Amino acid sequence: MKLVARAAAPLTRASIAPALALASKKMQYRKLGHTGLDVSLISFGSWVSFDYQLGIPQAKEIMQACYESGVNFFDNAEVYAHGKSEEIMGAALYELISEGNFSRSDIILSTKIYFGATKEPTPTAKGLSRKHIIEGLKDSLRRLNVDYVDVVFAHRPDPTTPIEETVRAFNWVIEQGWAFYWGTSEWPVEAIQEAHAIAERLNLIPPCVEQPQYNLLHRHRVEVEYAPLYGMHSSPIAQANGSSTITITTRGGMGLTTFSPLACGLLTGKYGTSGTIPPGSRFSIERYKFLADRWLLEDKLKKAEALRPLAAEIGATPAQLALAWCAANPHVSTVLTGATRVEQVYENVKALEFVGKLTPEFLKRIDEALDTSPTLTSSGKL
């Protein structure tokens, strides 16, 4: 049964013009890995916000503000709010498209398959078996109220399923027109390389994008482990070993749709040095209180505070500097951001104005202040 969209007054450019003035008017776009697909450098993900914080009317406002700001990539997953997040996004999209705010072809929609969409999925309703990939994506399309998604991700690696079975299943859903591209999320580099090798051997479609966590406090996987996936890559880690430049040539060309650029909100600076949790923040939500134990640690709080004076130097907020830092990595196709208020959308997009201010010297100062840059040991190992 499809979710019935609620009647609502259509948003217009005039009605949100004052807030739009806060946003950057020059969205940047990058290719999604080696594909021809242009994705906005800032994108929107609904992990926490839809259902737990926002209903359909608010989701509609957020998505419209995103589109008006140049954002064209919207990310979801079957597991988010146990499917409710997809339903809310689907209903909001239905209204926005019906009202002529934009068309389906104007946006890029993605979802992720692995965890299942219920609190306690049965053994066949989760994982990366051919059965769950096909049935799970069908269910996601129903909840999103669309005929296809542009990108479908394998939300985590599945050690219990042969990678060949997973590659064949994603190739099949693309051939059916249910998705145009597929990617991985938080896969180890060896598994991604194996998926590419299998696809090449069997003349199937390989993954073109990876969705990893990436922020100033979580850098190793993107900057070190995934280096072989980027094609011709000049590794700054290799430079630390005494060589001026080492380039690694591979088939890769993988794009990145990075998540958690603000380290679950820590890099906004709103938790200060005490770690006090403000009402309405992500860590105040019962389902996500476990994240506070992971992030609100004295060492991490101090690193987040160290970002504040650096941000002030360039006229940015700590959050905008953290987002700009992620966007400055040329291997990042898009930086996934969240928002519970329209104003946050504009503040996120405005972060792109500061990318050009991140000179090599300024980036070095960030590394020195936070001390989170991956480095080599004397033995040459990380």
Nearest 5 degrees, angle CA 338-CA 339-CA 340? 140
Task: Give me the count of residues in the chain.
Answer: 382
Three-state SS at 207: coil
Closest CA to 97 of 210, 89, 348, 371: 89
90: which residues sit within 8 A by CB, 6+ positions away?
Answer: 2, 3, 143, 144, 145, 146
Q: What is the dihedral of CA 171, 172, 175, 180, to 10 degrees?
A: -50
Q: In b/e form, how buried is each residue of 364-380, taking b as 16+ CB within 10 angstroms?
A: eebeebbebbeeeeeee
Q: Per the residue annotation, which of 29, 52, 67, 80 is the catalytic one? A: 80
Measured between alpha carbons, how far is 45 from 128 in angstroms, rounded to an integer? 22
Q: How many CB atoms are closer than 10 A to CB 4?
A: 9
Q: Could you tell me the two tokens for 275?
A: 């770690």
Q: Is residue 80 flagged as an active site residue?
A: yes
Closest CA to 235 of 366, 362, 226, 187: 226
Measured between alpha carbons, how far is 67 from 41 in angstroms, rounded to an integer? 13
| Residue numbers annotated as active site | 80
